Amino acid sequence: MESKVRESRIKARIKHFLPFAVQKFLYGNIVKKARLLRIQLQGKITKEGIKKELQKAGLKKGDAVIVHSSLSRIGYIDGGAKALIDSFLDVIGSKGLLVMPAFSALHYDKKKKMYVFDVKKTPCYTGSVPETFRHMKNVFRSVSPTHSLIAKGKNAKWFAGGHEKCSSPYAGKSPFYRLYELDAKIFLIGVDQLANSSIHIVEDRYKKFPFKVWTKPNKVLVTFNNGSKKVIYARWHLPNLYRIRDNNMLEKHFLEENLMGIFPFFGTELRVIKARDVADCMERLAKKNITIYSTKG
Ligand SMILES: CC(C)(COP(=O)(O)OP(=O)(O)OC[C@H]1O[C@@H](n2cnc3c(N)ncnc32)[C@H](O)[C@@H]1OP(=O)(O)O)[C@@H](O)C(=O)NCCC(=O)NCCS
């Protein structure tokens, strides 16, 4: 089946040839406005409508769920990002746990000669839905300069705690590993495996993972919510790995093993899979030397 959420080859080729400054100008002045107008013309999507579609895709009361999203691909939502977030919170209820990625770019402070990360102020690049969620009441943010997660709901404080002490962003006792332990559902709205960060759980969990993926520990000055500061040591992915990475080769395996459902979701697609199924399937593949870093599979 042709994926509805993958960037078209024509678009990718155009982007490849246009200088970044031209792309930025076109995006800010034409593409962005035209896109908003196009989705507004399609009519409004309501919170009640969203809740129905989420339930159809298997979301239940008490679920732990991580959501990766592209808001613009869904269509025009009455109430925007907040309405999408509230739909999830309403369905899972007070015993559920809603998680999103609040990943941020690395900031190196030349004067301090180390990286810096501010739990309250550092914005995330993972979209307007997590950026809106980040500012909501009772949302806890984990301390990782690259792979921070935000959570609200049952045991959210515990869930987000201790990330700064982990040997990698995905290590045991990290919030990502807790997604595995909680058997959390992954909801990919308008995005595919490129956005599915849980595909990296295996890289720490499977001790014989055939690729070296983590940098050495780097010094990071963290400013916590209460303003206090502390130096931590954090690893992240080696910088050149993205060149040889093909996350979407996993789709075939997830579908063949009946682990992932693809549901229509207004103007786009919704992919649903469990964190445990992702990690276990990837471990089985890694044992055969098939990883996202080698397109053998
Ligand atoms: C990068 C990414 C966020 C871009 O998606 P996007 O749809 O262009 O952007 P957002 O989700 O931030 O949504 C904002 C857009 O929604 C649209 N929008 C605005 N109001 C809206 C509404 N009420 N209803 C629907 N869409 C609306 C606008 O086009 C807006 O774009 P603008 O701010 O540039 O004007 C997305 O492709 C992606 O990768 N998401 C997953 C990220 C992730 O989880 N990564 C983890 C691993 S790295």
- The string of pLDDT tens digits covering residues 6-51 is 777 777 778 778 888 888 888 887 888 888 888 888 889 999 999 9
The number of the ligand 1 atom at minimal distance from the alpha carbon of 131 is: 12
CB contact burial 121-147 (16+ within 10 A = b; e otherwise) = ebebebbbbbbbbbeeeebbbbbbbbb
Would the CB of 128 count as within 6 Å of ligand 1? yes
Is residue 175 within 8 Å of 160, Cβ to Cβ?
A: yes
- Reply yes or no on whether the pLDDT at 296 is more than 60: no
Q: Band of the pLDDT at 160, cuts 50, 70, 90?
A: very high
38 lines ligand 1 (CB under 6 A): no
Q: How far is the CA of 259 from the centre of ligand 1 (A)?
A: 26
By alpha-carbon position, which residue is closest to atom 13 of ligand 1?
A: 71
Nearest-CA residue for ligand 1 atom 23 is 80
- 277 pLDDT more than 70: yes
Closest ligand 1 atom to the C-alpha of 78? 23
CB 87 within 8 A of CB 50: yes
Q: What is the pLDDT of residue 4?
A: 72
Q: Which residue among 23, 36, 40, 72 is best mutated to probe the pocket of ligand 1, counting the most ligand atoms within 8 A of its Cβ?
A: 72
279 contacts 178 by C-beta, under 8 angstroms: no
pTM greater than 0.95: no
Mean pLDDT for 211-224 is 96
- Residue 59 has a pLDDT of 98
Amino acid 295: pLDDT: 60
The pLDDT of 131-137, averaged and rounded, is 98
Instruction: Determine the Cα–Cα distance for residues 132 and 121; give it in Å rounded to an integer.
Output: 13
Q: Please, which pLDDT band fits residue 297 given cuts at 50, 70 and 90?
A: low
Q: Is 101 in the pocket of ligand 1 (CB under 6 A)?
A: yes
- CB of 72 sitting under 6 A from ligand 1: yes
Give the model confidence (pLDDT) of 58-103 as tens digits. 999 999 999 999 999 999 999 999 999 999 999 999 999 999 999 9
Tell which residue, 141, 263, 125, 291, has the closest CA to residue 195.
125
The mean of the pLDDT values for the chain is 94
Q: Residue 18 CA to chain centroid, in angstroms? A: 27
Determine the Cα–Cα distance for residues 159 and 97; give it in Å rounded to an integer.
9
- Residue bearing the CA closest to ligand 1, atom 15: 72
Question: What percent of the chain stands above pLDDT 70?
Answer: 98
Q: How far apart are the C-alpha atoms of 296 and 48, rounded to whole Å? A: 44
Query: 80: Cβ below 6 Å to ligand 1?
Result: yes
| Centroid of ligand 1 to alpha carbon of 219 (angstroms) | 31
CA of 202 to the centre of ligand 1 (A): 28
